Chains A and B, each alone.
Chain A
Amino acid sequence: MELLVFGIFFIIYAVMRLQNTEMFNHYQMTLNREIGFANTLLLIVSSYFVIRAVHAIKLNKVRNSINCLYAALGAGAGFLILKTWEYAEKFAEGISLTTNSFYMFYLSLTIFHLLHVVLGMVILFAVAIKAQRGCYNAKNYIGVETGASYWHMVDLVWIVLFPLVYIIR
């Protein structure tokens, strides 16, 4: 369902850009691409640790799986910090949802994605706590896999969002 909503958002963005190409290209250049790039790396790193956590629990390496989940959460926290910094810059410049169409899409798409990152982190944290309590092992790991799938979905959305909003023109 979330993928469908993001997909519709992405296509509407691309179609709206068709009608205002110069304006979208101009304001896209004002975005902080370094932060967008760093955040992409952070999400890929976090997804890498999440799949390692799944592999570890399947091998009954519970401690290793927990460590990987916390490493993924650390990368997710890095994403939140950088995103907060990026928004602080933009809000300090007086930019809001009503500034223009480009910023409306930029803010609504990235904030909607950010909410999914936060929810994904809550899920991963809950999975890590349950793993610490001994709820998961090589025979019972469906909870770890389910949490991991949600996190990878969040990463997948950003993989399209980053070039679309920050890079291509």
Chain B
Amino acid sequence: MKAYYNVHTVWLVMMLLTLSTYVLGELGEGGFVVVVFILGTAMLKGSFIIRDFMELKGVSMLWKVLMYGWLWTICITITVTYIVSA
């Protein structure tokens, strides 16, 4: 029952984080803080998907490294390129 409740919560948080990303996009703001916030939000949502939707909580370390490694490598690399271009 606890896990079921957590899925509801995770879903609601992800919807709200998506709304915050869209609002920032509509405001047309750029710059270091906004880029870090939006990509940080994407990393958080991606982590929720990996941990709570794919349920990788109990699997081997290799799978966790592959999935979280993919997400973090992509988001951090994109953040660096955007900061360089600012």
Q: Report which A residues bind B (CB closer than 8 A).
A: 3-4, 7, 10-11, 14-15, 17-18, 21, 25, 29, 33, 36-37, 40-41, 44-45, 47-48, 50-52, 54-55, 148-149, 152-153, 155-156, 159-160, 162-164, 166-169
Contact = CB atoms under 8 A, between A and B. Distances in A.
Contacts, number: 107
Contacts of B70: 3-4, 7
Interface of B: 3-4, 7, 11, 14-15, 18-19, 21-22, 24-26, 28, 30, 34-35, 38-39, 41-42, 45-46, 49-50, 52-55, 70-71, 73-75, 77-78, 81-82, 84-85
Per DSSP, chain A at the interface is helix
B7 A50 contact: no
Given A10-B78, A168-B34, 17 more contacts: A10-B74, A14-B78, A37-B25, A44-B14, A48-B7, A48-B53, A52-B7, A159-B45, A160-B42, A160-B74, A162-B42, A163-B25, A163-B38, A164-B78, A167-B22, A167-B25, A168-B30
Given A37-B18, A155-B53, A167-B21, A51 B7 contact: yes
A51 B53 contact: yes
Contacts of A51: 7, 52-53, 55
Contacts of B30: 25, 168-169
B81 A15 contact: yes
Per DSSP, chain B at the interface is helix
A130 B14 CA distance: 30
A17 B15 contact: no
A52 B10 CA distance: 12
Query: 6 closest A-B pairs (Cβ-Cβ)?
Result: A167-B25, A14-B81, A37-B22, A48-B11, A21-B85, A14-B78
